[in-house]
Amino acid sequence: MAHEASGNQSTTSIPVVEVTVRMYRAGLGDCFLLAFPSTDGNPRYMLIDCGVLRSTKGGADRLRAIAQDIAETTGNWLHVLVATHEHWDHLSGFQYAQETFDQMVIDEVWMPWTEDPEDELAGRLRQKRATALAAVTAAAARLGAAGRPEAEALEAVLDFYRGPGIDGRINTTAEQWEYVQGRGDPPRYLRPGERPITLPGVDGVRFYVLGPPRDEELLSRSDPSTAESEVYEHAFALNQASAFYLAALAAGDQDALTPDQRELLEHSRPFDESFWIRTEDAATHEDHGLFFQKRYGFAGDDDRHGPAWRRIDHDWLAAAGQLALDLDSDTNNTCLALAIELEASGKVLLFPADAQVGNWLSWHSVSWPGGACGEGGEAEPLTGTDLVRRTVFYKVGHHGSHNATLRDKGLELMESPDLVAAIPVDHELAARQGKHGWSMPFPPLEERLRQKTRGRVLRADTGVPEKPDAVPAAEWQAFLDDVEESELWIEYTERG
Q: Determine the average pLDDT of the residues in 128-137.
A: 72
Q: In the predicted model, what is the mean pLDDT of the chain?
A: 80
Rounded distance between C-alpha atoms, residue 443 and residue 285, angstroms: 58
State the pLDDT at residue 149.
Answer: 66
Please give the Cα distance from 65 to 50 (Å, whole number). 12
Q: Decide if pLDDT at 236 tops 90.
A: no
Question: How confident is the model at residue 234, as a pLDDT?
Answer: 29
Rounded CA-CA distance 356/401 in Å is: 9
pLDDT of residue 40: 93
Query: Does residue 309 surpass a pLDDT of 50?
Result: no
Q: Which residue has the higher pLDDT, 373 or 115?
A: 115
142-173 confidence digits (pLDDT tens): 767 767 666 666 666 666 666 665 555 567 77
How far is it, in rounded angstroms, from Cα 446 to Cα 186? 39
The pLDDT score that the predictor gives to residue 294 is 62
Backbone torsions φ then ψ of 197, nearest 5 degrees: -105, 145
pLDDT at 127: 74
Q: Is the pLDDT of residue 11 over 50?
A: no
- Residues 90 and 173: their CA atoms lie apart, in Å, by 9
Q: How far is CA 176 from the centre of its chain?
A: 14
For residue 386, pLDDT beyond 60: yes
Indicate the SS3 state at residue 149: coil
Phi-psi region of 5 (alpha: psi -120 to 50; beta: other; left: phi over 0): beta
* pLDDT higher than threshold 50 for residue 466: yes
pLDDT of residue 489: 98
pTM: 0.77
- Average pLDDT of 410-422? 96
CA 64 to chain centre: 21
CA separation, residue 418 to residues 158, 173, 479 (Å): 38, 37, 9
232 band by pLDDT with thresholds 50, 70 and 90: very low
- Tell me whether residue 199 is exposed, middle or buried, using C-beta atoms within 10 angstroms of its C-beta: 0 to 12, 13 to 18, 19 or more: buried
Of residues 125 and 227, more confidently modeled: 125
**Which of 268-272, 305-309, 362-366 has the highest mean predicted lDDT (pLDDT)?**
362-366
pLDDT at residue 376 tops 60: no
Instruction: Find the angle CA(82)-CA(87)-CA(88) to the nearest 5 degrees.
Output: 105
Give the type of residue at 12. Answer: T
- The whole-number pLDDT of residue 233 equals 30
Strands of 489-495's sheet in order across: 188-190, 105-112, 77-82, 44-50, 31-36, 18-24, 489-495, 483-485
* Residue 164: burial class (beta carbons within 10 Å; 0-12, 13-18, 19+): middle
Residue predicted with more confidence, 221 or 319: 221
Q: Which residues contact 238 (CB under 8 A, 6 or more apart)?
A: 264, 267, 268
Give residues with Cβ within 8 angstroms of 369, minimum separation 6. Answer: 7, 8, 379, 381, 382
pLDDT band at 56 (very low <50, low <70, confident <90, very high): confident
Averaged pLDDT for residues 277-301: 61
Adjacency order of strands within the sheet including 420-423:
3-4, 197-198, 205-211, 337-342, 347-351, 391-395, 420-423, 457-459
Q: Tell me what pLDDT residue 250 has.
A: 55
% of the chain at pLDDT higher than 90: 50
Name the least confident of 80-94, 188-202, 286-300, 402-416.
Answer: 286-300
Q: Look at 43-47, 193-197, 258-262, 280-284 and tell me which has the smallest mean pLDDT.
A: 258-262
* E-assigned strand segments in 135-225: 162-164, 170-172, 188-190, 197-198, 205-211
